[in-house]
Amino acid sequence: MKFFLIIKIIILKIIRLNISFLKREISGYPNIVKKFEKDFASFIGKNYGISFCNGSSAIEASLFALDLSQNDEILVTSSNFHSSIGSIKNLKFKPIFVDIDPQSLTIDCNDLKNKITSKSKCLLIVHPWGYPCKMQEITKIVKENNLKLIEDCSHAHGALYDNKKVGSFSDISCFSLQGAKAIKAGEGGIALTNNKNFLLRMSLYGHFNRHQSELMNDENLKEFSKTGFSKKLRAHPLGISLASVDLENLVNLNKYKNEIYNTIDNIIKKYNSIKTMELNDKATRGGFFGGYPVIFNDIEKIDEIKKIFEKFKIELYPYHWLPHHKMNIFNSDETKLIVSESIIKNFFMIKIPYFLNFNFDNFKKCLLDCKKNNLIK
Ligand SMILES: Cc1ncc(COP(=O)(O)O)c(C=O)c1O
């Protein structure tokens, strides 16, 4: 069944791409783009969607939409993609780095509370690798401290917290539609909101001819109605035609991927020296970027472990993210984040094949071989 679903998706993409091309829907805002924005927003549970040329631009536009002042503080994890942090710097806000929780590797709510000051204006969270953050606690903290909330759901298309989709909890939620993500435009992104003013400001930031008539009716924004802010960050309609097929099949894909992850969880559980990211209470994974996360305690043995994985043809990748809080381009303050710093060397991802035909028996044998060679316990 999984195999046929993937084949169906490939065929539908070829058809839809060609239809878009033949209809000359290759730039601007043809129906395929408008429909995708509407369908995506309603799938997540938001009123408005606006597409971008990538997720990074969607995040930068969403920060711009909040109409903050220079040096206002944006709370963000360092364990994140660099462009989310770069967007804070590009707009001249100040990133304040928050650590992650050692079990779930999602934002640490205690550290978050400690980092809030009178200058804090916004919290930007990411649901890493498809694992939802503790949204109940986060929405409470945000409300109590009068912060705006942006969710970066680039890894977590269709993931749930308490049966609500991630991306529905925030003032603005952003999704990358880059080629390795669950919904793929090749390159692309989308931002969602219920707030019309945020929508118009995002439109101004990256689109110059999108909401002209609405902008004309807004006293503060009408002078920009024809030019926007002179950036052109719109999505490619051909990419969106591909992404629209992924959106329609996301629920089924997430179901199959959840089955794979649940089975791997149970296999890994039998070993003490390897663990995985703990799923927060009430959270259901979705999207699943990067692969299945594994944390090796005995990291000195990793080279030999990698050789055994290679022998069994299972791809093992190192952690993708950098210690951004220690990099001059993002931060000049001394910031120590104990968990974020320690996880970088122990964290690896197991590749899940495109056709979702992960071989569990082969994986079990691989781990047994590691154990036999005293590499894991
Ligand atoms: C968590 C996260 N946010 C944002 C982005 C940026 O998305 P894009 O590559 O579409 O600009 C990425 C890209 O991988 C990401 O992993």
Q: What is the mean pLDDT of each run of 10 residues along the chain (377 residues)?
A: 95 97 96 98 98 98 97 97 96 98 97 98 98 98 98 98 98 98 98 97 93 90 90 97 98 98 97 96 97 93 96 93 94 94 95 96 98 95
**Pairwise CA distance, residues 84 & 125, whole Å:** 10
Please give all residues whose beta carbon lies within 6 A of any atom in ligand 1, as ranges. Answer: 54-56, 81, 83-84, 126, 152, 154-155, 176, 178, 189
**Pairwise CA distance, residues 262 & 273, whole Å:** 19
> SS3 of 151, please?
strand
Which residue among 60, 78, 81 has the greatest number of ligand 1 atoms within 8 angstroms of its CB, and so is best to mutate?
81
**Pairwise CA distance, residues 350 & 292, whole Å:** 5
The pLDDT, as a whole number, for residue 319 is 84
Question: From ligand 1's centre to the CA of 19, what distance in Å?
Answer: 28
For ligand 1, what atom is nearest to the CA of residue 155?
A: 1
Q: Which domains does the chain have, with CATH numbers?
A: 2-245 (3.40.640.10), 250-372 (3.90.1150.10)
Reading the block at residue 123, the tokens are 């919290």
For ligand 1, what atom is nearest to the CA of residue 57?
A: 11
The pLDDT, as a whole number, for residue 298 is 85
Tens of pLDDT, residues 25-83: 999 999 999 999 999 999 999 999 999 999 999 999 999 999 999 999 999 999 999 99
For ligand 1, what atom is nearest to the CA of residue 178?
A: 10
The pLDDT, as a whole number, for residue 13 is 98
Q: Helix 196-206 and helix 55-65: axis angle, to 10°?
A: 130
* 168 CB-side CA count, 13 A: 18
Question: From ligand 1's centre to the CA of 113, what distance in Å?
Answer: 26
Question: From ligand 1's centre to the CA of 155, what distance in Å?
Answer: 8
